[in-house]
Every structure is written in C-alpha cells, then in structure tokens.
Structure 1
Amino acid sequence: MTTTRFAPSPTGYLHIGNLRAALMNFMIARKAGGTFILRIDDTDPERSKEEYVDGIKQDLEWLGLTWDRIERQSLRLDRYQEAAQKLRDMGRFYEAFETPTELDLKRKKQLNMGRPPVYDRAALALSDDEKAKLRDERGPGVWRFKLDQERIEWTDGILGDISIDAASVSDPVLIRADGQILYTLASVVDDTEMGVTDVVRGSDHVTNTATQIQIIHALGGNVPNFAHHSLLTGPQGEALSKRLGTLSLRDLRAQGVEPMAVLSLMARLGSSDPIELRTDMADLIEGFDIHHFGSAPTKFDEKDLFPLTARVLQAKPLSEVAGAVAAAGVPDDKAEAFWLVARDNIATLADLEQWWVLCRDGAEPLIADEDRTFIAEAMTLLPDAPYDETTWSTWTAAVKEATGRKGKGLFMPLRKAVTGLERGPEMAQLMPLLQVIRAKG
C-alpha cells in the first residue's frame, strides 16, 4: 500500500515552502488510496515547542490536508538507539571527537589542496585508549555513519537518474555529542518501520538522500521512491529563504487568502500543467502527477494568491460566508443582496466592511471641478431613500433629459459622486443598499 509522510519540525510555523512537500505527499497518498502520516520531528527538545505542533495541525486542517495518523519522534527514541547499536555492531558507526574549529581547519586545508572538503575519517584510526582520553578531555564525541565509498544511484521521481559518489560525501553525523538523534537517522528508522513507500522533499535533500539510502540498506529496509521538488524563489528569481518567515501559512490565512487559492497554485506551480482554480481537493488530486514537475527553481509570488482568492469568493453562496458578512455589520435582511453585490468587488473577505460602510454611511463624493454644476443639478432630481432596483435607471434617464448628457459623460460623474469611486458594482444593484448619499447634501 502506498504510504507517504510529512515530517515537519515544530521549531516554527509552517511556511509556503513547507507546504510543497506536505501537499505533494498528501496527494500521492490520496490518489493511490493509501496512507498519509503526519510525523512530528521533535527530537530537539530545546527548539521544539507544543505551540508549533498545534500550529502545524491548524494549518494543515485549514487547507484540508487530513492525516491518517500522527507520530511523534520524541516517543520513538528507543527505536533510534536500537538502530544505532545495530550499526555499531556492524562496524558502520564510529565515534569522532574533532571540534568545530578543527573540522573547519581540515576543510580549508583540503580546499587549498584542490580536494573536496570531506571528513578524513581520522577517528577510525583512534585506539580505545586514545578514545577514552579524548572523552575525558572533551566529553562524548559525535557518532558518524561509515559510508561504503561507492556510487549511490536511484531514479528520482522528478530529477530522473541520480548518481552520487559516496567518496565525495562526508560520513554523516547521526548522533550529536549531547546525545541528540539527528533527522538523518530518525527519518530512516521511521520510514523503514512505518512502511513509507514514497518520499517527496526539497532538492536541498539530494545528498542527504544518498546517505540515507545506504543507511536503509544497512538496517535491512526498503528504499522508498524518492522525488525532490525544486526550491521556491521570489518572482525575480531571488532566494526566498530570508522571507519565508513572512510567508507563513498562518499569516496568509490572516490576510484572507482562501485555502483553495493556496492549494490550486501550489499543486501545479513548477509543473508542466496549467495553474487553474479548482473547486475541491478531489479535482486537484485527480490531475496530480509528480512526474510533471521540473527541476528548475520555481518562482513564487504571493500576490498571485489574491486574484485566485477573489475568484474563490465569487463562487461562494451567502451560506458559506454568512459569518463574515455579519461581522462586517450587515443586517440579516440585507445580507443576501449585499453579498451578491460585494462578492465580485473584493479581494478578500476583509474588504466587505468597507463596502458596508459605504452603503450605511455614504461615501465622500468624488467630483471634478467641471462637473460640479452638473452634479448639483443631478442631485435635485434624485428621489429620497429608500432606493430600489429601478432608481438608477429612472434617475439617470431624468438627468439625461434635463442636462443632455449621455454615455460615459453621464454615468461616470454620477457614479463618482455617489460612491466616491471610479469603478465598482453595477449601480442598479448597489442603489437599493445605499442608505445615505452625501452628494445629495
């Protein structure tokens, strides 16, 4: 059975970059009728916080990315220790004691000699007495996985055939000196024991995947189908890394972005398929194919989310937005008519309030100097409120008859005088909602 997972670290809120992996893994599982696991990578007790765990769940629920089960890596530490001991017994795990400064000097020396900056495995030559002495002087060392120095190959779901020479990669640290289990080991143990069949993650993990494949083989597991999606850039190709904090899903939600706008964009961005607004998750899943995605950096502009959000809102009936309409101050007896007028003229639901203020309190008239006499005469012909759906046509006909104006020269100055805006809803629909017209005096 197809099994995928999304494994965020609860060290911050989810951002738009995290969503790519979450959404792709979710859609692979759902399209195959398989299992989607939410796996909280909380092995770092200092940085992991429950508020972020709750935030991750809330963001996924907001988007409709439901999980079949949830796992906590902090509850599986014994499984990682067992795997570590198995690797020690196999001679594939060794303790190393270099300080960060010493490692940095080694890297600089290798680079100066034109060699790749790869850990030189000096720790493998240490005797038991030398290790004991170093532990007394420096405390426990880190634990590194000993790679077989051969080519590691796999067919990536997005990048195609990948071949990495393990000799060009440092033996990865799997356990820190303070005993913390690192992601590389924990993820392999979890993927193996949870039967994960497909893994989609960022292209910055490619080298990490190569080392994990060897660890999987060493522990007797099955290698999942790996796919590495491209990384997001800004609209001009600039790195997004410094801005991801401002592109958190909770911030986008607070700005009024609709879930289907986010999903419709992110489910196709970077693929050969067109970005089209979908009405539900089933439509998105049906057309999803991981092989349609490319390796080139993918440009993302959060501004693209707002036209999509506007289109989502235009299709909604009052019943789905009644709370927002009421929160804007619209009375129940006007809610239906107001929503039909406002929904085609908002970017987010937050815009509803300004339209209701216009209806309730009127707008500051926008009158050009050359139109002042015309508007003054026109306002004498406007009947008193309440207005109805015939008011606009009756009034403009009377103004045309009295002034001789027609077309844009008639309608635009009247719209601007009544609404203070050059564009907006059909005036015939808006007039019945207007309780005050300031230009009338």
Structure 2
Amino acid sequence: MKIAVRFAPSPTGFLHIGNVRTAIVNWLYAARHGGSFMFRLDDTDEERSTQAYADAIAQDLTWLGLTWDRYARESDRYARYGEVAEKLKAAGRLYPCYETPEELGLKRKSLLARHLPPIYDRSALRLSEEDRARLEAEGRRPHWRFKLLHEDIVWDDLVQGHKHFKGADLSDPVLIREDGRPLYTLTSVVDDVDFAISHIVRGEDHVTNTAVQVQLFQAVIGLEGQGEVPTFAHLPLIAGSEGEGLSKRLGSLSVRSLREEEGVEALALTSYLARLGTADAIAAAGSLAELAEGFDFAKFGRGTPKFDPDELMRLNAQVLHQAPFAAVVDRLAALGLDGVDEAFWLAVRPNLSKLADAKDWWAVTHAPVAPLVEDAAFLATAAGLLPDGVWDETTWGVWTKAVSAATGAKGKALFLPLRRALTARDHGPELKTLLPLIGRERALARLAGRVA
C-alpha cells in the first residue's frame, strides 16, 4: 500500500508545538517509507478561519523544511461534501434533528444528573413526516446526525495498541449544521477517502472521534465503492514543563514566537519534537533525512511527554555548533554582519546559543569596545610583547607564553586580565581564534585602556 499522510490544521491561530509535532511525525513517517505528505486546511470554521493564519501555517511548515506533495482546502470542496451527505441521507445513515441548543443542553444535564452518559436519545428518529413539517413551519431548520450502528468498533493503533469501542456507547455525531454547513467529522473523512490517505496520525484527544469516524469511513467507502479505512496512530499529548496542558493560543509556544523571539533553529525544533516521548535520546540531528531514517512508531511511549524549553535551547546550541558557514552566511548578513567570513563563524559558533548572539562577537571583533582594565602595568607589559607580522591561531600561544615568562602570571591570573581587556568579557570564544580577528591595532589600543 502506498503510504499517504496528511497534516490538516484549522487556520484559526498560529501553530504551536503540539500541532506542529503532529506535522513533523506525519512528514517523517512518509519520508521514511517513500510516501506522500499532504498539507490540507480544515477551514470550514468560517467565523474563525483567516487567510493570515493559513499563510502563517504554510510559512512555518516551509521554515521547518516540511515540504508537501499535495495541498487542498476544505472551503473549496463544499459541493463534494454535499454530494456525500445526500448519499448518506438516501442510505438512512444521516437523519434530521430539530432540537435547539437549549433543548439539547437540558437533555444533557438530565442524563448527567442521573449519572448516565450524555448520549443523544435518537428522539428525532421517531418524528413523523407531519412532525417534521410542523417543526419546519415553526421556523426550525434541521441539523443532521450520523446514525451509528450498535456494534463493536475496533482498530489496531500504531501507538496505543488494540482499541475497542461499542457503538451503543457513543452518541450519534452531528455532521451538518442547521445552516447546511458540514462539520469537521464529515469533511475530514470525505477528504481522507478522496485523497486515499493511508495513515492518520494525530493526538490521543481524537481517539473517541476516531471510533465514530471508523463507522463513517465504512459508510462512505461502501457508498463510493472504493477506498480503505486508514490505519491510525494516536500520540500522547505534550504537556508543559509543569505538566499543564498546552493550547493553540499559548503564544509563547507558537512556532512563530520560538523562531522570531527565541531564536530557535528549525532543525533544533524538529530534532526535539521528533524524539520527544520516544525511546531515542534527544540530540540534534544533522538533517530531516537523518530523523526520517530512524523514525519508528514502536519507539513512542504511552506516557505524557513534557516540553522543556531549556532542553530545546540546548539542542539549539548543538545545531549551531555543527552548522557550516554556507548554511548561515546569508542569515548572518541579514543580521547586519557585513563582510562576515568563515574564519569569524568558526571562531564564534562554539559559544552561540542562538544565531543572533553572533552580533555580540561581531561587535567585539569589528566595533569599538571599552576594555576592562584592572592592572595597567601588567597590560602594558603584555602590549609590549605583542608579536609582529601576520597573526593566526598560533599567535595567542606564543604571546601568552612570553607574557607569562615576563610577569610570572599563570592560569587565570594570566588569561583573565587579557580577555577582559581585549573583549570586555569574562567568557567567550577561544582567544586563539578571536585574537587574529581583533587585530594588532585594536589589541594594542584596548591593552592601553582605550576604546577601540
């Protein structure tokens, strides 16, 4: 069977780490098996869906490298959903209901008060043609429910194992609103059948929806005369570092915020979310292809994985520390580092947590710095021993050896005063690589206590 997966977000907000993890897992599974990845917008919630959010989702996927083979949006397919709905009506699987939201709410409260599950009582099925005509004459318009068969619903989940529901324990779902618009349950199933989606990978909060959709898949496939019920994989939902649930509206954990405000690298985020909740050690991958090669649903556990921002930033540093100059040169230039070269990148990358940190070290090597001077006599001696000629990575060792011999300073007493004078910092990249970038003229001025 040809592997075909889909990521189908609603464009009602920015992607956050929970739903982008679903996109990553789907993409990696398809890549691992030579399958296709579909980007589909479930945008039938017309009140909340916006083009701006749709564009933002596409931008986030592109930034992460999650290219798609097919694209569709549900708002373009209303005629198709109507066609399937009419077939379901004709088959007796979709029936009209006339209760108002208030009436349904009272029924629900009554059942809960009697410690019964709030399952729809199917009273609409007992309405006669005259009853329906009278209700419509009163101005009521029907919503339409899918009639579930009271039989066992089973599937073998790739993450959760064998699942078993009883149709009689589930409430007939509403598939069409009073205004005639289809709901997610119908549109999603019709799309998955039409686009031959082989595997549906999503959060475990959809398990009960899946039980309902299995029967709807069977009904639609039976009416269309082609297709198969997809294989399902329901991932445990991610919690916050304190165990709290995550929300799509939790802006601090949106992909856009992580990228633009926190400086997270795309590969750091994909590496983290691809392995979160699995048996694999969390480490920075070299590429999406490397992540795909090791992908396996059998590695996912059933426990709730916790998102740890500190762990993500640790991976972020790993990604930068192994990034080649060619991969970042354009982004460094965009940060205002005009004329940046590979020598600078190789010198500073081991000390970066995020790419924007390179601006600080560019300022140290290419802009005036106010040196930190504690022992002017020591620095004057050091300045007098600065080597002439072309500087390279050996210059620092030759120079400090001479300074140590002349002053008797060793270890921290030797290196820290020099670092503070040359960089105005206590820590940073190795000075054997930084010193040639600072240059002899600046070094002499800073050792003399001048801003240079």
Shared fold, TM over 0.5: yes
Residue number in structure 2 paired with 1:6: 7
The CA deviation at 1:141 is 2.2
Structure 1 counterpart of 2:423, from 419, 422, 425: 419
Deviation readout 1:60-91 (Å, 9 max, x if unpaired): 12112111111121121111111111111121
Distance 1:184 1:386 in 2: 74
Deviation of 1:143 after TM superposition, in Å, equals 0.8
SS at match of 1:37: strand
SS, match of residue 161 in structure 1? strand
* Aligned 8 A contact 2:376 2:448 in 1: no
State the partner residue of 1:191. Answer: 192
- Whether the aligned pair in 2 keeps the contact of 1:382 and 1:395 (CA below 8 Å) is no
What's the counterpart of residue 21 of structure 1?
A: 22
Alignment deviations for residues 365-404 of structure 1 (CA, whole Å, 9 cap, x no partner): 446xxxx3x3443235315899833553344334433432
Which letter maps to 1:401? A
1:388 aligned to 2:394?
no
Tell whether 2:122 aligns with 1:121.
yes
- Paired residue secondary structure (1:284): helix
1:228 aligns with 2:234: yes
**Aligned 1:6-405 pairs, distance under 5 A:** 6-219=7-220, 220=222, 221-241=227-247, 244-254=250-260, 255-332=262-339, 335-366=341-372, 372=374, 374-383=375-384, 388-389=391-392, 391-405=395-409
Q: Which residue of 2 aligns with 1:430?
A: 434
Give % identity: 50
| Alpha-carbon separation, structure 1, partners of 2:165 and 2:86 | 27
Output one character per residue of 1:283-324: Cα deviation in whole Å (capped at 9) or x when no partner.
111111112212221111233222222222222222222223
Cα gap change, 1:25/1:158 in structure 2, threshold over 3 Å: closer, same or farther?
Answer: same
CA 1:327–1:26 in 2, change beyond 3 Å: closer, same or farther? closer
- The question of whether the paired residues in 1 share the 8 Å contact of 2:15 and 2:248 is answered with no
- Alpha-carbon distance in structure 1 between the residues aligned to 2:413 and 2:190: 74
Deviations along 1:254-285, whole A, 9 cap, x unmatched? Answer: 13222211111111111122223221222111
Equivalent AA in structure 2 for residue 233 of structure 1: A
How far, CA to CA, are the matches of 2:241 and 2:254 in structure 1? Answer: 17
1:17–1:244 Cα contact (<8 Å) kept: no
Q: 1: distance between equivalents of 2:349 and 2:398?
A: 25
Q: Work out the CA distance in 2 between the residues paired with 1:378 and 1:168.
A: 82
Paired residues of 1:326 and 1:335 also in contact (CA < 8 A) = no
* Structure 1: runs of 5+ lacking an equivalent: none
Q: State how far apart, in whole Å, the 2-side matches of 1:322 and 1:218 are.
A: 55
Q: Deviation of residue 10 (structure 1)?
A: 1.6
Given the superposition, is the C-alpha separation of residues 191 and 243 from structure 1 closer, same or farther in structure 2, using an over 3 Å criterion?
A: closer
Deviates more, 1:126-135 or 1:259-268: 126-135
Contact 1:155 1:162 in 2 (8 A): yes
CA distance in 2, matches of 1:177, 1:339: 61
User: What SS is found at the alignment partner of 2:63?
Assistant: helix
- Determine the structure 2 residue equivalent to 1:440: 448
Distance change in 2, residues 1:402/1:40 (3 Å): same
Cα distance in 2 between the residues matched to 1:155 and 1:113: 34
Q: Is the 8 A contact 2:379 2:447 kept in 1?
A: no
In 2, Cα distance between equivalents of 1:100 and 1:376: 85
What's the secondary structure of 1:233's corresponding residue?
Answer: coil
SS in 1 for 2:138: helix
Question: SS of 2:116's equivalent?
Answer: coil
SS at 1:184 equivalent: helix
Cα distance change, pair 388–136 in 1 and its aligned pair in 2 (3 A): farther
- C-alpha separation between the residues in 2 aligned to 1:54 and 1:320? 25
Structure 1 residues 101 and 439 mapped into 2: Cα distance closer, same or farther (>3 Å)? farther
Q: What is the SS of the residue equivalent to 1:39?
A: strand
Instruction: Return the alpha-carbon distance in structure 2 between the equivalents of residues 386 and 146 of structure 1.
Output: 87
**In 2, distance between residues paired with 1:328 and 1:73?**
39
Q: TM-score, normalised by structure 2?
A: 0.90
* Greater Cα offset, 28-37 or 182-191: 28-37
| Worse overlay, 339-348 or 128-137 | 128-137
Separation in structure 2 between the aligned mates of residue 162 and residue 359 of structure 1, nearest angstrom: 62
Q: 1:140 to 1:224 in 2, by over 3 A?
A: same
TM-score, length of structure 1 as denominator length: 0.92
Q: Is the 8 A contact 1:97 1:141 kept in 2?
A: yes
